[in-house]
């Protein structure tokens, strides 16, 4: 019988799935964590997790779905995300559209990609406002449980006493409940610096009304660690990768802080 060479076999050929996604070190380098070598070192040190698991060298990620964290802080790895810091002038409305034809904050920043304000400032309030198309960060920044500090300078009627400042610090009974402890200091005879981490409607104005010192002018001067005295009213700039990471860290700190 002639010998035959059969190509059929009962064992299917072994196929190695094509790796998908982008190399993690490349993604990390792109968002500014350092050179690829530095990013490899971060991975080797076990400081990078993907979906909660410590990443190994050579790991690939799908930036649309995977959650990448450095030291437990999410890294904004999706391309196309923009984050602006605007110094909102008085009289501009914090919405993406206004039916009354008033000026709106999104008209002060580039039209594309479309961004939206994170939280809101009253039309009469000036100062720092973040605008972004990063819905996840926006949600976490505004969620009450994350409690990122916001600092305001309020010019008020009269001169608040030390007792009044203590009341502001300890919490004020408002019609929608007591305010959480705040920081309050008098920085000029009629100027209060108030730092709160809640984001209730017209909260600073209502707190100062409640203690008998109505607000004449209100300026937000800090969000988390973000401040910028060089931005004139109406001016904006893009946040740096470090600043976006700083916000993530402020959220993480807020989340782990004991509730007051």
Q: Does 204 bind ligand URA (CB under 6 A)?
A: yes
Q: Residues 128, 87: contact at Cβ < 8 Å?
A: yes
What amino acid positions are annotated as catalytic residues? 122
Query: By C-alpha distance, which of 251, 229, 198 is closest to 126?
Result: 229
What token pair was written down for 91?
């009289």
| Binding-site member from 59, 83, 140, 205 for ligand URA (CB under 6 A) | 205
The number of residues making up the chain comes to 260
- Alpha-carbon distance of 250 to 246, in angstroms, equals 6
Question: What does 175-197 look like in DSSP terms, one character per residue?
Answer: TTEEPPP-EEEEEETTEEEEEES
Please state the closest distance from residue 44 (CB atom) to ligand URA, in A. Answer: 45
| Binding-site member from 25, 125, 132, 179 for ligand URA (CB under 6 A) | 125
- Alpha-carbon distance of 198 to 171, in angstroms, equals 12
| Binding-site member from 69, 98, 122, 149 for ligand URA (CB under 6 A) | 122
Q: Does 118 bind ligand URA (CB under 6 A)?
A: no
| Binding-site member from 78, 143, 193, 202 for ligand URA (CB under 6 A) | 202
Q: Does 218 bind ligand URA (CB under 6 A)?
A: yes
Q: Does 223 bind ligand URA (CB under 6 A)?
A: no
Site residues, ligand URA (CB under 6 A): 121-122, 125, 202-205, 218
């Amino acid at each position: 019988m002639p010998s035959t060479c059969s190509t059929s076999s009962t064992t299917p050929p072994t196929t190695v799935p094509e790796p998908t996604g982008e190399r993690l070190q490349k993604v990390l380098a792109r968002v500014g964590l350092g050179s690829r070598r530095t990013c490899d070192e971060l991975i080797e040190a076990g400081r990078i997790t993907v979906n909660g698991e410590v990443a190994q060298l050579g790991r690939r990620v799908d930036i649309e779905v995977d959650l990448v964290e450095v030291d437990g802080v999410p890294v904004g790895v999706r391309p196309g995300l923009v984050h602006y810091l605007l110094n909102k002038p008085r009289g501009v409305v914090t919405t993406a559209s206004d039916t009354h034809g008033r000026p709106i904050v999104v008209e002060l920043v580039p039209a594309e990609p479309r961004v939206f304000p994170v939280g809101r400032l009253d039309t009469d309030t000036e100062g720092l406002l973040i605008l972004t198309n990063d819905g996840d960060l926006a949600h976490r920044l505004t969620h009450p449980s994350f409690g990122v500090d916001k600092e305001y300078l309020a010019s008020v009627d009269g001169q608040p006493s030390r007792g009044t400042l203590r009341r502001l610090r300890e919490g004020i009974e408002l019609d929608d409940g007591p305010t959480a402890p705040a920081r309050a200091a008098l920085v000029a005879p009629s100027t209060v610096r108030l730092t709160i981490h809640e984001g209730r409607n017209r909260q600073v104005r209502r707190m100062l009304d409640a203690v008998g010192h109505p607000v004449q002018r209100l300026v937000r001067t800090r969000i988390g660690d973000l401040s910028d005295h060089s931005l004139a009213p109406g001016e904006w700039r893009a946040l740096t990768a470090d600043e976006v990471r700083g916000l993530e860290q402020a959220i993480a700190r807020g989340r782990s802080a004991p509730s007051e």
